[in-house]
Structure 1
Amino acid sequence: TYQAGVLAYQQVKEDYPDFDLRIVDSQNASLGMALMAREAIQMKADGFSLDEIEERIQFMVKHVVSLFTVQDLNYLAEGGRLSKSSAFLGGLLNIHPLLEVVDGKLEPKEKLRGRKKVLNRMYKRLELEAKNIEKQTILIVHTNETETVKEMKDHLHDTLKPANIIDYPIGAVISAHTGMGTIGIFYMNDYE
């Protein structure tokens, strides 16, 4: 967490007073943080100063969009993010939530009927919001959804033509809270 990073930095600073490090609260999760880390690593390799890297990452904190959907609402109910009755009814009605990380918190944005509709809404958000998509790397995270991810990548390559699309499996900790069938997509709504 951000607080743990601050505490660790303070301890290191006691022994190494000249050590310069910047800690940024990503206000994000999963591959939203990875987009920022990838950018910082590339900027460092390209010779940018620590101040320039920090400024860029602070910009990204405000502009990284992290969208998720889950297949099984019962996992959200077990984690306390949804009532058990809502999970039951949502399952009966084939409801798929569109979730977004906003200011570090996972918020429900929409409830759509059917997996295809929620994925199409993710595409539409990406299409409407992503600036300079042809320069961006889009990240996709999933719980063993290789077929769906292949379809997503094909669709995005054919329609929006981002610079790159990379997919990663969700780790065990997050997938234990979201269940199989979870998919997330990460991009920037402003890209310089």
Structure 2
Amino acid sequence: MDLRAALADRRLVAIVRGGDPDAALRTVLALVQEGIDLVEVSLSGADALGVITRCVGELGPGRPIGAGTVLTADDARAARDAGAAFAVTPGLGAGADTARELGLPVLAGVMTPTEINTALAQGADALKLFPAAQAGGPPYLKALRAPFPDAAFVPVGGVDLDAARAYLAAGATAVGVGSPLVADAADGGSLSALRERARAFLAVVEEAAG
């Protein structure tokens, strides 16, 4: 898949991490039904590889379901084998390197200009600015875009509705949203409440596009 194009088109990545694999699967399916089909299933969740495999089986191989928290070479290989369409890392290292070698697009975790330079030189498709809130929020992103105007930044960490709006206005290609969107759905919480939150985030994305 063309990860950068997908990020620019959808502008929102849902991050699913839960303790109940069945609930996590239901969460992904509900998000896709609401129109959020760029989804990262974190490997730190329960049976995350199984969740990815089941998502691909339910949705088909063309859906952009990615693996998150890809730390090691083994993580990258397991994500590829499970059918993940892309890999997301919290930082640079073996997980990102091996994912690229396997042909998986990589959303690589960075925080500093040095890390951004390194990630771009290593061929990262896009840059996960993480943890974005602790790094300085939308003003920090805006400052980074001056020396890196062509980089595709995806802020992650503490991105609620207001922050999503601010990051997109500051030039983010997309935003990555975990608990403010998913909340307890991947642990068995309300899917109807999840759907309401999904619609609210999609409204912010549409507002930014308009």
| TM-score (norm: length of structure 1) | 0.31
Larger strand proportion of the pair: 1
| TM-score (norm: length of structure 2) | 0.29
- Which structure carries more relative contact order (alpha carbon 8 Å, separation 6+)? 1
